[in-house]
């Protein structure tokens, strides 16, 4: 029996959705398959996202930036958008039972000294840890997943 798939979407699939994928996979990867994609993928993973995730013991350096169309033929149980553009561009996926929008600031657009930019990456990462950690806790208590 396969695990239900959770697809996390943002625009570029280089930063926010990649961090969220890593966080949710670490918190609930035994319960759900976690993947991410973008409406307009950049084709790369943001180096600062990799760095701040490594700081909390999660390695996303092997992730790949991909287009959401890679998942059109796959049954997706839950779609979570993490930016407004992806929320508006999000199609309905086969088997999709739930959809959530939890918007986060894009730290890749933060300007200033490296210290300021990294602080913003950490802030967004930590917000995601709270939100996706709570979601994972709900999954562990049997909420939002189909009986299988």
**Catalytic sites, residue numbers:** 10, 83, 90
- Alpha-carbon distances, residue 61 vs 15, 49, 86, 139 (angstroms): 11, 9, 23, 26
> Half-sphere exposure (CA, 13 Å, Cβ side) for 112?
9
C-beta of residue 35 within 8 angstroms of C-beta of residue 7: yes
C-beta of residue 57 within 8 angstroms of C-beta of residue 29: no
Show the tokens assigned to 78.
């839950």
């Amino acid at each position: 029996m396969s695990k239900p798939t959770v697809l996390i979407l943002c625009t570029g699939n280089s930063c926010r959705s990649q961090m969220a994928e890593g966080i949710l996979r670490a918190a609930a990867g035994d319960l759900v398959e976690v993947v991410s994609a973008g409406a307009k993928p950049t084709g790369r993973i943001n180096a600062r996202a990799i760095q701040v995730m490594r700081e909390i013991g999660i390695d996303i350096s092997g992730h790949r930036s991909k287009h959401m169309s890679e998942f059109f033929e796959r049954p997706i149980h839950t779609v979570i958008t993490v930016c407004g553009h992806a929320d508006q561009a999000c199609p309905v996926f086969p088997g999709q039972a739930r959809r959530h929008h939890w918007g986060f600031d894009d730290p890749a657009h933060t300007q200033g000294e490296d210290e300021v930019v990294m602080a913003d990456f950490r802030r967004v990462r930590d917000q995601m840890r709270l939100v996706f950690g709570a979601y994972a806790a709900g999954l562990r208590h049997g909420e939002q997943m189909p009986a299988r």
